[in-house]
Structure 1
Amino acid sequence: MSATTAAPVKPATVTRTLQRVVLPLEADQDILPLYVEGEQQQPPVVAHGEKERGAAAEAQDLSQVLSRTSYAVRAQQRTSFGTYFNAFPASYWRRWTVVTEVTLRVTLLGSADVIVYRSNAKGNVYRVESTRVEAGTDATAGTDVSFRLPLSTFADGGWYWFDVIAADGGATVKAARWEAEVPEDRATPGTLSIAVTTLNRPDDVVALLGQHGADPELLSILDEVIVVDQGNQHPTDAEGFAEAEKGLDGRLRVIIQANLGGSGGFSRGMSETLDAEKSTYVLISDDDVRTEPEGIVRAATFADLSRRPTIVGGQMFSMFDRPYLHSMGERIQPWRFWWGPVLQDSEGHHLDKESLRSTRELHRRVDVDYNGWWMTLIPLSVVREIGLSLPLFIKWDDAEYSLRARQTGVPTVTLPGAAVWHVPWTDKDDTLDWQAYYHERNRFVAALLHSQYPRGGRIVRESFIHQTRHLLASQYSVAELRLMALEDLLSGPEHMHDQLGTRLGDIRAVRAAHPDSTVEKDPGAFPAPRREKMPKKGEGVRPPSNRVGLLTMAAVGAVKQLRPIRQLSKSHPEAEVHAADAKWWMLAQFDSAVVSTSDGSGASWYHRDPERFRSLMTRSVKIHEQLLRAWPELSEQYKSSIDSLVGQDEWKKTFRGER
């Protein structure tokens, strides 16, 4: 008798919705292109040497938005859902999750063609499949169509999306979603708590809470919103708070604590979520953002289905220019240990002018080192393993956390289609105000913990170069704060918790002692510019054209510090310098200058002070030499203290003010 070979048992699966097709929560024509677009027009002729741009699309109108999930396609017109919030980022799901195939399901009213497309990492577009839908007899139920789509060809990038071309009578996309069959043990969605840290932005917090409570899908997985209020203008006193609280239906908790910065607020949110023992994830969120709630649901679903515990972050649009995708993904250059965009040549994308479908840069998968804490979903299992944030107050807490997580095998993924609107950092320069202290100290703390290069690679050298530039530019308050930061760094990690709630007052006092920190809002606050010695041939300062020119200007600026100050410069600035032109080599040419702030709200009067320059330069040389020598021992000191610095028990002492 021959043995019978049993057929392999197919693992049990369940159907999970990966992302819904959604329309805007608010009636804002500016952001509609992030959800739907019309048929692309022929691209314009591009002159030689100019960058080719994606073709514009036929305008869609808010009147076509019928509900959160339904959209009217006009007769004989095409609507594409190949947009930021509705295309499917296939390469991310292939790379990081257990999903190997997706199903697109579309419910249509009326007669229309449905066409599915895909792209690859180069941005090449391929038509995949199509079907004709005829109007059914039931004018309310609609007709369901589906497409099974493999993820096997999306190794380095690419999206799926679909277009709808309506027949003579028009059509309505009643609903659509991207689904997948996943292992049975992934059936139950994880739940989350949202931790919002705020300082005197009550109206922003109320608006954000209103968005969180406006989406039933988000509410179905939301355990709690924890608002950590560190200011004296409270969201609970703001107009609209009661309504926002009602929308969250008992899921809101407001905690008032001392101002411990972003890291103190977010660590409190992590700690409270750990203690509650009911959420799978904690979502870190800035207070001054506007969100797409569906993106939060997508981030949680992505984390549910990731192969290993994964930090899932959202991208950032500009709050002021809302179709502008400002941040796609962030990395840390390891030799310099400095942050920046993964796509070095990208300055962002206007998705109302250059569609997702025709912008090649948007089709490549972007792998990141960290995600900004404007919106980041962290598994509670990761928090339990690696602890809370470092007590950094602000700056580098988000970057350091992902670097620490990566050491335990936890990746960070910045997921397209999950995003917030936030004030872009291009409209400010916080390296020139009180935050200069935290930029300097926290960058070094992160490098001491995570740099793989001896003595941090270039970081000490680059810090000294930047310090010299600030001194040549007469930015003495910035130079003083940077030295203060390095002195605290050298004192060891014990200062970090001890000074978390008090150091800001010291920083502000030190900064206030320097004239370059005084900002006047009145355009007529300063005397008219006058100069004793006019520039040669009446020409202004020209920017250096190469490295030799840059070094020459640095030498000229250094020699100038040995010369006495021209008397007239004490009563009249020698120039007015726009913020965009306020480079060190420009400011080094003047004995005094009025310099506008980067946000355009005022200006400061910089005065060259040779004695102060020499004093600060002497200290700068000494401290950077000391830091370079002490690096190996200092690195070990910070690494050995990490468990205490990020431990929940140590943080709770700080929350209680036991310092």
Structure 2
Amino acid sequence: MYFSKEAFIKRTIKTILQDKLLQSKSIEILIVDNAGTLSRSEFSDRRTKLISQRNIGGSGGFTRGIVEALSSNRNSHILLLDDDIELESEAIYRAITLNEYAKRDLVIAGSMLDLSQKHQLYEAGALYNKALHNREFQAFNIVRLHHHLDLQNVSNLNLLVETEPIDSAGFYFLSVPRKIFESIGLLLPLFLKVDDTEFCLRIKEKFGNDTLITFPGIAVWHEPFFAKSSIWNYYYYRNDLIVQAIHGTLRYTDAIAYFTKAIVASLLVFDYKNAQMLVKAFEDYLQGAEIIQHADPEQWHSQIMKLDSLFQTQQIQYHNLPSHPQTERTTANLIEKTVSLLTLNGHFLPNVLTQDKGVLLWQTADCAGRRSRAFRKKRVLIFKEGGQCLYRNELDKSVGIELIVRWLALAIESRMKWSKVMTEWQQVSKEFTSLKFWRRYLNLDKSSIEKSERQDLVA
């Protein structure tokens, strides 16, 4: 399910401006346009301001708005909202009221409801680097609290009152006191992905568990992340590496184990695009801070997107498979798993042993399907539940072997660099979240600000 973000933005702003409860509140709406697709004439209300800039990703868009808000002394809190949410404005009124009655500064994380199934709660905050059941350390793992909770079931509503400390929350709805930004700095310039998690981790480290909270009745609808997945998303696992390095939780063995598992899992279903993105992510993390300091973010992202077109053996077809195949419910035995892994589902077997057949794998947000069924097959068809795309991947032994060899060489090379690179990311983190850095990164020199102000007066 995909929608025009411009339509979402206009609808969200209209919803806020027309809310009678918010009329008595002093609010200013800053719309940051990274894409250059919005017009100032569409936002004529005195409470709105459109800010146009080059595309420097989600972190750049949010931070541009934060910098603008901090330049004024008229506000006490800054509310970050995604550009593709569906909102009931009462959620904002509740957040304002909660802040008015609170005896201390709170960072209020709105919950995320599933836009495709509006009665389902997708997450009410999340845990980071923790296992689902025992909450012990598990590198790169995200536990979405109250995931897929059915809110039509009245008995489930009591679960929302039970509080559990959260590690992170999304920028689809996050209310932050300006004092927080003034204390811990701005966002990391990560372009896309994990900037919200890193910011929340800093909040917890500085202010403890009780500052970042969720609250029943404060939520927005958002498309589930699984449905929005794109191949280039996997490149931004680079950001997970950066964030964990900065916060001192990243061990070499954990990182290698996680990436090896993810790369092998991709190669088992002949997903060379995914595997390549993961290898590239690791390579660029090892370059250190230079990857952010000297690269143009928009051009860099464009180059990453071009990598998507390198493999002709992978195609996307539009399909609608309404029911889950019963054959997918079985699990592989130990022998099947072992043979599947040792041969990488046929990459290391002679061509004569490869069958000119295909296999369908049904994937959900929690299950990738039984990959061993692709053993000795020529092609794999993957259908992601909730979507309308059928991914067709064909076996290319030379590409698969090249990628696994490249990864193994990288894993060995990185052992020598690990501590040095990790220290470098830690040392630059304070600079990268400073107002001075962001003003330079956003090209906010005096002349550009004056030009923007003149445009506002003309509009």
TM-score clears 0.5: yes
Aligned match of 1:502: 299
Distance 1:378 1:250, change over 3 A: same
Asked if 2 retains the 8 angstrom alpha-carbon contact of 1:310 and 1:413, the reply is yes
Aligned match of 1:389: 187
d(CA) in 2 for partners of 1:474, 1:312: 42
Corresponding position: 1:207 with 2:4: no
Asked if 2 retains the 8 angstrom alpha-carbon contact of 1:428 and 1:598, the reply is no
Give the SS at the match of 1:264: helix
Q: What's the TM-score once normalised by structure 2's chain length?
A: 0.83
Give the SS at the match of 2:189: coil
Q: Where do 1:212-251 residues align within 5 Å?
A: 212-234=16-38, 241=42, 245=43, 249-251=45-47
Q: Where do 1:535-614 residues align within 5 Å?
A: 543-544=330-331, 548=334, 551-555=337-341, 557-558=343-344, 560-565=346-351, 574-580=358-364, 582-614=369-401
Aligned match of 1:636: 423
Asked if 2 retains the 8 angstrom alpha-carbon contact of 1:371 and 1:413, the reply is no
CA deviation string 1:179-223 (max 9, x = no partner): xxxxxxxxxxxxxxxxxxxx9621111100011112233343343
| Larger of the two Rg values belongs to structure | 1
Q: Where do 1:89-488 residues align within 5 Å?
A: 201-234=5-38, 241=42, 245=43, 249-334=45-130, 335-341=137-143, 343=145, 346-352=146-152, 354-355=153-154, 357=155, 361-409=159-207, 411-430=211-230, 433-438=231-236, 440-452=237-249, 455=251, 458-488=254-284
Q: Which has the higher contact order (CA 8 A, sep 6+)?
A: 2
Structure 2: gaps spanning 5 or more residues: 131-136, 321-325, 446-459
Once the two structures are TM-superposed, the CA of residue 522 in structure 1 deviates from its matched residue by: 7.4
CA RMSD, 1 decimal = 2.9
Give the SS at the match of 1:340: strand
Give the SS at the match of 1:331: strand
Structure 1: gaps spanning 5 or more residues: 1-198, 524-538
Asked if 1 retains the 8 angstrom alpha-carbon contact of 2:121 and 2:147, the reply is no
Give the SS at the match of 2:276: helix
Give the SS at the match of 1:404: helix
Distance 1:400 1:516, change over 3 A: farther
Asked if 1 retains the 8 angstrom alpha-carbon contact of 2:189 and 2:432, the reply is yes
Asked if 2 retains the 8 angstrom alpha-carbon contact of 1:389 and 1:646, the reply is yes
Q: What's the TM-score once normalised by structure 1's chain length?
A: 0.59
Once the two structures are TM-superposed, the CA of residue 312 in structure 1 deviates from its matched residue by: 1.1
Once the two structures are TM-superposed, the CA of residue 502 in structure 1 deviates from its matched residue by: 1.5
Distance 1:268 1:549, change over 3 A: farther
Corresponding position: 1:616 with 2:403: yes
Once the two structures are TM-superposed, the CA of residue 558 in structure 1 deviates from its matched residue by: 2.5
Q: Higher strand fraction: Structure 1 or Structure 2?
A: 1
Give the SS at the match of 1:316: strand
Q: Which amino acid aligns with 1:500?
A: P
Asked if 2 retains the 8 angstrom alpha-carbon contact of 1:370 and 1:399, the reply is yes
Distance 1:444 1:294, change over 3 A: same
Once the two structures are TM-superposed, the CA of residue 657 in structure 1 deviates from its matched residue by: 9.2
Asked if 2 retains the 8 angstrom alpha-carbon contact of 1:324 and 1:348, the reply is yes
Corresponding position: 1:647 with 2:434: yes
d(CA) in 1 for partners of 2:336, 2:101: 52
Aligned match of 1:511: 308
Give the SS at the match of 1:544: coil
Q: Higher helix fraction: Structure 1 or Structure 2?
A: 2
d(CA) in 2 for partners of 1:559, 1:339: 26
Distance 1:541 1:205, change over 3 A: closer
Distance 1:586 1:283, change over 3 A: farther
Asked if 2 retains the 8 angstrom alpha-carbon contact of 1:312 and 1:414, the reply is yes
Asked if 2 retains the 8 angstrom alpha-carbon contact of 1:227 and 1:255, the reply is yes
Give the SS at the match of 2:232: coil
Distance 1:407 1:607, change over 3 A: same
